[in-house]
Every structure is written in structure tokens, then in C-alpha cells.
Structure 1
Amino acid sequence: MGFKEIFGTLPEASAQAPGRVNLLGEHTDYQEGYVLPAPLPYFTQVEAAKAEGRVEAYSETLKELRARPLGSPAQGDFLDYLLGVVWALREAGHKVPGARFYIRSQVPIGAGLSSSAALEVAALRALRTLYRLPLSDRDLALLGQKAEAAYVGVRSGIMDQMAASLGEPGKALFLDTRTLAYENLPLPAGVRVAVLDLGLGRHLREAGYNQRREEAEEAARRLGVRSLRDVGDLCLVESLPPPLDKRARHIVGENLRVLKGVEALRKGDARAFGELMVQSHRSLAENYQVSLPELDALVEAALEAGAHGAKLTGAGFGGAVVALVPEARFAPFQEALTARFPGLRIL
């Protein structure tokens, strides 16, 4: 099956974008903080052709063909992301009358690996080629975020789209989400980033993602700051009522962990970086309360099996765990975990 079999014509443009893991900096991007994602060697590929007044798309993964007119509201399916990026382009003044898409993806859906951002950026890259749009990679990331927040209805920060658009293989993207200044930093030598996927799945709009974002905004308002990025002293959060104190404690502490993580990467110190990952997971579980017992157990098992560090990756409420594993120990690490967790997929 291919584009021609579905639509009867050949594609006019093709593009791809990677999924990502977040090594440090969970739930900081919508509070103008620091993040450290890394692109994965797993991609979403999009083939595209022009269309008038509608968006049509076929997902090879889902074996679904969907079509809706421009201006249609979101309906909770994969087509929302494609209608969303076309809507965002048109809102920005670009002449995009519609499109047809054929989607192939290696990025697992619902695993916290940002399959949505990979799809958005790949589609935007294809549309940039298709309609010869004068847009930078940074522009595409911002448009993808606008599509997801304003059209799809998940009020995500900018991290996922920036990682998909600007990240480099084998490196972590150190991003200041306030200024959008970024730097790609090499990962320590002799380690592998492993993604541990139990297939838990998640749906952020139905989960507590937007609620956590609202709680963070309320915490910042009560502390009298523009965002929690501006709180440098963890003691200040103790004045907040529960659960706002816990939410702010995580975000303020996570920003500090990212900055320490950057220092560890510059030194090539995998052990120090791994310890920060463990601290991040514990804060996500205890302060932000977005982990699950299955993810906690998987993190502990990964550490017992020899990982330098491990944590949930993505927004939580399901999804996957990312582990930093010494390359020399990867085979026994893999064997130990697959024996303990039948059905575990290690990427």
C-alpha cells in the first residue's frame, strides 16, 4: 500500500521527523524553563500532495483513511494534528488550500515519545516544500505547538516540536524555552539511551496534563512571578497550599536539575547525569504525581539491571521510561528486564 494506491496520484513532497525522549526537564517547558530532550532514531514519514478545501490522510499504522473540510473542529483522531498544522499555517497568513497525506511511522503512539510532534513537524516540512513556504525549522516548531495547543486542545509547551525540528542524533538539545536559545550537546561516550515501553498508552487531553498546567500557573500567580522559571529558591514554594507547593517544588527543582545535567554532559559524566534522572523521576512521582506504579517499578528494575539512571519520559500518566545504560552492559540489561517484564519493548 502506498500514496498512489490510496489517492490515485503520486505524492508531490516527502518529509520526516523523529520522536524524542526527554532526559531531563519534564513539565518545565510551559513554565518557560529548561529542557534536555534527545531525538530518537525512529521517524514519522509523511508524503503529501496538494488538495483544495480539505485535508485527507491515511495512516499506515492505524489502517485508516480520514478526510474533513478545512475549518472543521477537532474530533479526537489522528487527523486533528494534520488539520491543526494546516490551520496554524493559514492563521499565520500562508496560502495553504489543503493537502493529502500518507503517514508511515516508527514512533510508538502513546508511549511518551512525542509521536504527535513528530507527525506535526514532518507534515509541516512536507507542506513547506509543497507550497514553497519561507519558514525556518524554528518557525515549524512554533507552528506545530500552536496546532497542538490551540487546535487539538493539548496545551503543550514547545519542547517536543523543537526536539523534532532542531535536535541532532546522538546529542541532547539544551533548550531555554523562554528565549528559545538552544545548543546540541554530545551524550557521554560509552552509553546508550534505551526506551522501555510497557505499552501502557495514554491520552493527555483525557488525563491530568491540562490540570497540572493550570496548577503550575496558579502557583506562579500566587508567588507573584511571571513563571516558575523565575523562582530560584526552593524555600519559597513552602508558602503555597497543597497541591500547589508540590507542583512548584517539582518545576523549580527540575530546572536546577537540567542546569546540573548540562554541566555533567559537558564533563562527559554519565553517572552524575544518571543520578539527576533518578531524582527527576522521584519528583515526578511524589511532587507532580504523574507516574504510575508500573513506571516506578520499571525505573527501579532498570537501575538494578545496571542503568546509570532512569525516569519516565514525557508528560506521564502512562508512556515509557528512558534509561541511560552503559553500552558494555546493554545485553545483560536487556535480558534482565525482558525476563522480569514479559511484553516489554526496548527501543
Structure 2
Amino acid sequence: MSSFESVFGDSPEFVARAPGRVNLLGEHTDYNGGYVLPIAIEQQTSVSMSHSNSKQYALYSEMLDDIVYFTLGKSPTEHFATYVYGCLMEARAVGMKVPVLDIYIQSDVPMGAGLSSSAALEVATLRVLRALTGFPLDDVQIAQLAQRAEIQYAGVRCGIMDQMASSLAGTREALLLDTLTLERRLVPLPPASAVLVLDSGVVRTLATSGYNQRRTECEEAAHQLGVQSLREVHDISLADALPEPLGRRVRHIVSENARVLRAAECNNAAEFGMLMNASHTSLRDDYEVSVPQLDQLVTLLQAHPDVYGARLTGAGFGGACVALCKPESLHQISEAVLQDYSSMGLKGRILVPPHWVDRTATVGGGSAS
């Protein structure tokens, strides 16, 4: 395995890390100005930097075993490099003097699994820039710069949730975030509970078109209700006056915001789990972003006696499921559920916690299509 020293010939001057995240509750509410409840995961991205004597920035990815050279003012063509390039440009835009750098990326955040590997990369990059330059940036500003970098330079029209979670959340405390005002507070997990994330093995090939369609539907519903965003709607019965599917979309957003706020005040794992179960039902029936494989995996999780609740997490149309479980049973739950899932010709894998990934990363056969 390579290292900063083997690639660049010396030790890095500064290193910073940032975690991935999983969203416990509050799905598709962020672009409606609503509430979200993400939590950081143990897997992290590390970014190391040193001043360079070259005229070009050198960016090496350990995961891809690829090095990219670029200058500011001309974006690199390699997609992973655009996230770092965007952070450098956004930092410079707020007055940071960004020197030419050697940059090394290492990460164990699973890529393409809906755990915000991109936000972890952005936040870690901005954290190490802050350390290297001494430029004053607080953790909220880092999240805001990271979001702008992803929108402007990586071409992803993302909300602020992922970057705020990576910058501010902990692994035992979720971040209750009002995406409209950025008001926030940390919320501990209920006692005797832990988070499990399983990948369905279904690649989210429809996420982009479906995601954009849902955004458009929410905007049209808000327009018909005479509000700026669905955040302003609190009476779920107003959805009855709208044509379908707009009424269903409103029912999900209003009920999901209420679930997030209720969960934030909940100190009981069983009650929290019931809210997660209700969230999945709403995402499946009212928001229509689930697929049969996700439904099957959620059903298996919900049926396990040591699981409090489970739901799809992320945009849907494939991807992962999150469950709140008894901590002492995480290994047994994941093995039993993935074994049953594989008996249906499907292949899943453990994403969080990462402790058993090398040993039981996948169970059973089938196509991960």
C-alpha cells in the first residue's frame, strides 16, 4: 500500500479527517426546507497536505491508485478530483491564500453507497486547509463551502445535510438540523441502541431522474398550496385538495418532518424504531422511492426481534437500509438478515458498523444489479 511519503517523498505537514454519515430520519425533506436527523459513521476520509515546490497541484487517491495534476483556474477532468478542486476554489473565494500543494486522500467510507463519501472528502479537505493556512473557518462555514464546492464544481445539486453531518455530527449523537435556518443541536441515540446499515446491492441507477422528478413535484405542490416550500405546510389534510401524486408527496413531507421532531425528543429505542418503520412506509407508498429489494431487506430487518425499526436511507431507488438495533446483537442480526436475503437470490453487505466487513462483507449469491 502506498503512503504520502512513498508518493511525495516526505511526511505531510498537516492531516485532517471527516466521517461519512447515515440519515436516521428526514428523507427528501432537506430540499423542502425541512428537518433531518443524520448521524456520523465510524468510517472516515483522511486528507494529507504539504506545500509543493511545483507549479502544479498534485492530488493522489489511495483508493483509486491515481494521481492528478492541475492548476487553479482549470478544473481537472477526473471526477474525484473535482471535489477537492472545488474546495480549493471556494476557500480562495472567501479570502484564503491557497498555496500549491501535494495532496493525499485515504478513505474507508464506502463509495457509491449513500454514506456521503463526497461530503467526507470535502470536509476533510477544508479542515486540513484551515490547519495549514490558519484561516478562520468555523465548522458551519466549512459545511457551507463544501456544499458550494459540490454544486459548482462536481455538478451535484445537493442540499446542506451531508456536509453539516460530516462537519458537526458524532457517531453516538445525531444532528437535528433545520435545513431552512441551519439551527441545530445534537441528539443522543436512545439508550441501549446502535445503528446498523446494510446495502441492498441494488445500484441506484434511477436515482437521478427520480430524485429530480420528486423535487419538481414538491415545487409544484408548494405552488398550488401558495407557499414557498412544503416546510410551511403543517396540516396534512391540505394534501387532500391536491391531485395525485402531489397529494402523496405532501403527505410524506409533512409526516416526515413531524417524525423527525418527535424522534429528537424521544428517549426510547422502541418508539424511535416505530418512527423509522413509519418513515419507510411513507417513503414506499406516498413518496414512491423504494424498490422491491429495499422493501424485502427492510421487512427482514423489522421482523428480527432485536431490531427496533428499519427504513431505506438516502434517495431510494436502491442503495442502503438503516436499522436501530440492540447493540449486543448487531453481528447476529446482520448475519441472519443477509442470509435470508441471499436465499431470495439477492446479495447484500454490511456497511455500518465496519468491524465485521472484512469477515462477512457479503452473504450469499445473486446479482448486485
Using structure 1 for the length normalisation, give the TM-score.
0.92
1:245-281, Cα deviation, whole Å (9 max, x unpaired) = 33222212110110111122xxx21111111111111
Q: How far is the alpha carbon of 1:75 from its aligned partner? A: 4.2
Partner of 2:366: none
Establish whether residue 275 from structure 1 lines up as the match of residue 274 from structure 2. Answer: yes
Q: Tell me the number of residue pairs that the alignment of Structure 1 and Structure 2 aligns.
A: 344
Distance of 2:100 and 2:244 partners within structure 1: 47
Structure 1: state its 5+ residue gaps. none
Establish whether residue 299 from structure 1 lines up as the match of residue 298 from structure 2. Answer: yes
For the residue of structure 2 that corresponds to 1:67, the secondary structure is: strand
1:192-246, Cα deviation, whole Å (9 max, x unpaired) = 1001124434478845333332332232223221211110111222333333333
RMSD (Å) for aligned C-alpha atoms: 2.2
Establish whether residue 249 from structure 1 lines up as the match of residue 255 from structure 2. Answer: no
Which one-letter code corresponds to 1:322 in the other structure?
V
Q: How far is the alpha carbon of 1:42 from its aligned partner? A: 1.1
Q: For 1:161-310, what aligned pairs fall within 5 Å after superposition?
A: 161-202=163-204, 206-264=208-266, 268-306=267-305, 307-310=307-310
Q: Given the alignment, which residue of 61, 68, 71 partners 1:69?
A: 71
Higher mean C-alpha deviation, range 217-226 or range 36-45: 217-226
Q: Given the alignment, which residue of 338, 342, 349 partners 1:345?
A: 349
Q: How far is the alpha carbon of 1:98 from its aligned partner? A: 4.5
For the residue of structure 2 that corresponds to 1:294, the secondary structure is: helix
For the residue of structure 2 that corresponds to 1:135, the secondary structure is: coil
Higher mean C-alpha deviation, range 35-44 or range 236-245: 236-245
Distance of 2:253 and 2:87 partners within structure 1: 29
For the residue of structure 1 that corresponds to 2:265, the secondary structure is: helix
Which one-letter code corresponds to 2:242 in the other structure?
L
Q: For the Cα contact (< 8 Å) 2:58–2:69, is it kept in 1?
A: yes
Q: How far is the alpha carbon of 1:26 from its aligned partner? A: 0.9
For the residue of structure 2 that corresponds to 1:308, the secondary structure is: strand
CA gap of 1:104–1:262, structure 2 versus 1, over 3 A, is same
Identity across the alignment (%): 50
Q: How far is the alpha carbon of 1:9 from its aligned partner? A: 3.9
Q: How far is the alpha carbon of 1:176 from its aligned partner? A: 1.2
Partner of 2:361: none
Which one-letter code corresponds to 2:270 in the other structure?
R
Distance of 2:210 and 2:51 partners within structure 1: 37
Q: For the Cα contact (< 8 Å) 1:4–1:11, is it kept in 2?
A: yes
Which one-letter code corresponds to 2:339 in the other structure?
A
Q: For the Cα contact (< 8 Å) 1:40–1:169, is it kept in 2?
A: yes
Distance of 1:260 and 1:37 partners within structure 2: 15
Q: How far is the alpha carbon of 1:8 from its aligned partner? A: 3.3
Q: How far is the alpha carbon of 1:336 from its aligned partner? A: 0.9
Partner of 2:5: 4
Distance of 2:43 and 2:84 partners within structure 1: 20
Partner of 1:121: 123
Distance of 1:294 and 1:338 partners within structure 2: 12
Distance of 2:57 and 2:315 partners within structure 1: 29
CA gap of 1:17–1:285, structure 2 versus 1, over 3 A, is same
Q: How far is the alpha carbon of 1:54 from its aligned partner? A: 5.0
Which one-letter code corresponds to 2:268 in the other structure?
D
Q: How far is the alpha carbon of 1:58 from its aligned partner? A: 1.6
Distance of 1:17 and 1:113 partners within structure 2: 12
Higher mean C-alpha deviation, range 67-76 or range 333-342: 67-76
Higher mean C-alpha deviation, range 46-55 or range 77-86: 46-55
Higher mean C-alpha deviation, range 241-250 or range 34-43: 241-250
Higher mean C-alpha deviation, range 95-104 or range 126-135: 95-104
Distance of 2:258 and 2:348 partners within structure 1: 32
Larger Rg: 2
Q: For the Cα contact (< 8 Å) 2:200–2:318, is it kept in 1?
A: no
Partner of 1:36: 37
Q: How far is the alpha carbon of 1:321 from its aligned partner? A: 0.8
Distance of 2:112 and 2:67 partners within structure 1: 20
Structure 2: state its 5+ residue gaps. 353-369
Higher mean C-alpha deviation, range 293-302 or range 313-322: 313-322
1:102-131, Cα deviation, whole Å (9 max, x unpaired) = 111111011111111111101110111122
Q: For the Cα contact (< 8 Å) 1:74–1:151, is it kept in 2?
A: no
Which one-letter code corresponds to 2:348 in the other structure?
L
CA gap of 1:77–1:23, structure 2 versus 1, over 3 A, is same
